[in-house]
Structure 1
Amino acid sequence: MRAQSLKWSGAAGWQGLQPARAGSASLILYVAGREALEGGERHRELVAAHPGAMVAGCSTGGQIDDADVVDDGVQALRLDFDATVVRLACERLHGEGESRVCGWRLGMALAAPDLAGVLLIAEGLDVHAGELVSGLRDAVGTQVPIVGGLAGDGPHFRRTLVGAGEMPPQPGLVVAIGFLGSAVRFSHGCSAGWDAFGPLRSITASEGRILRELDGEPALDLYERYLGPEAAGLPGTGLLYPLRIWNAEEPEHDVLRTLLGVDRETRSLIFAADLPVGWRAQLMRGRFGGLADGAAIAAAGAGRHGAARQARGDSAAFIVSCVGRRLMMGQRVEEEVLAARECLPPSMRVLGFYSYGEIAPHPTTGRSELHNQTMTVLTLAEAAG
């Protein structure tokens, strides 16, 4: 495998564009702020410059370029495989109610006995990401890892874009990229690093993603009491205080959920994914060192399987971190990226973005699912012959 970084800026245009090598399976992944992708010019330029290559990308809450976090331009990664088959499937969502069937259709387009892993990039707002992943998992099987994230729109949460193949970036698209064959090394890690505070509670009333009560008390009342003056900024300040939830019968299978909306009339909170009645819950808050440690754990987990150590040619990493982590860390956000980068080989090409949701196998169960407020790291390489 060969990996090459590409960049676009308004001043210099594209740097590093080259035609696809005959006979190679070329994949080009790109990330950028929404404004840079509106109109589709950057996507069409990548497609035109790389005939026969598969091109996919999304809008973000910030781009990860090696060990840096940037907001300008377009960052991209080109991968040429020698012994790996790469397939791209794309579906359009017409509302979050279609999420599960959308995932199943994507999975059926990729399903194969030698499918080693799936990279999933999805619309970031009008989607039920948990159901999307469940549908995809149903089609490809629970043993196939699914890694990726939801497109972002900075801190605005207004409009997210995904582009794939001949379709330029637009709302409502979901793209799944399958890596097939015995040569590919598809390794992953996922971790958070948030600290718990406040007592353990029970979810006593909810409807899907709408949290109505904790311990019989309106959910918004509890958040206002614990956040104090910061509660005036909800839902925005809620990104800094995710909710950890878990089934009491599976205490090690915990996940974080991000607060996305507030219904002040009903005193309810709207989260990124379902919060089942009867599950336990606890508020979380961030600490710079803790989030950086979580990033390092995710990267170390992705490198544990030896993707780079036994590679033929180059290796690459695709990092997806939550926009809430970026907002919490502020000017110190590069600390978590650097912590992850230091756990990866110096020669590895690194591309990533800040997302509205991360997708990866759970570190305990191994089951692929939606996460919030985590860092997810995917490493790709081909085994030496």
Structure 2
Amino acid sequence: MTDAVIDDIVAVLPSLLQTLESLSFVARNLNPAEFGNVMQIAGEPDETLQAVKPRLAEWPEKFAHIKTALEASTDAALAGYAGLRAVQNGEGDLVSVFRALRYLPRAQEALYPLTELPPVSGFFIAPDLREDAELQAKLAAVPNDDTGIFHEGNEPGSSGGFSMYVPEYYTPDRAWPLVMALHGGSGNGRGFLWSWLRDARSRGAILIAPTATGQTWALMGEDTDTPNLNRILDQVQGRWNVDETRLLLTGMSDGGTFSYVSGLDGASRFTHLAPVAATFHPLMAEMADAERLRGLPVFITHGVLDWMFPVQTARQTQGLLSAAGARVTYREIDDLSHCYPREINAEILRWLNGEHAADA
């Protein structure tokens, strides 16, 4: 790599990573009443990124893959920030904010192939493990076969497909925990994959992010999603060594609610449920398979500031499921609105791995 190319990377990459972190901050702290304050705290890293973007213009052809990835990630990050700025300036609404934040997973997907660069690899490691020398060594090694990111029938706008991630240091000589993560009502699996990828990569879990077969998950009417999840699970278990005692079904908002709908059925293959920002009707507890509920590990996460599904719903759910015999772990997050709190993933994985007991 030439000195000129290295200089350009050094100029662009820190600004790009900071812009992505700022977009993640907005996504985590999004609250309609506080949007202006959140944007002020997020700052203006996009202005610096816009200023250094021309450094990507003239590169030797042999470095084209690096240039292409950096340009695609930079363009997506800047588009996301532009959408947020428009709403900040009074041009748009909350739906516009959600549209703008869809550029964040696109930027991450574009950047991930550059994990050969240490700063990029570090970005995709959970912050508390970035100094872990053993993990760094595993991730710096040549990837094993059948690892990395895969997409099957999961292009934007499609339904029923899935995206998945297998840690690059996966080996088939042991069984690995599996996380099936369900997106929210307006999302898709390809985007939601990035809500979990850092932790799956850092802590060693196979990650699947499917897309609903309909406009959202089958919360009413015929359940076309559970058979599709089983199909995907069969496909993955046929190719990778999955631990059948650590099969987690989790999800955000509608995805979290569907993890109840599907996961409380007596025929469910999932061993653990972890709904986030979900709603729950008391009839669901009455209709659930009683034997299935008895001793079932359930990890509920909800924000005190949730404006879509008030926290009282989650508190009631904790009581109903505990009374039915489930082993419920309950986490309320004081500053969380109706957003996905990536910081809870580490605790959920420790719980899945049996590293601490559930609490009522």
The bucket for the TM-score relative to the shorter chain is: under 0.3
| TM-score, normalisation: structure 2 | 0.24
| TM-score where L is the length of structure 1 | 0.23
Of structures 1 and 2, the one scoring higher in RCO (CA 8 A, sep 6+) is: 1
Between Structure 1 and Structure 2, which shows a larger proportion of strand residues? 1
More helix by share: 2
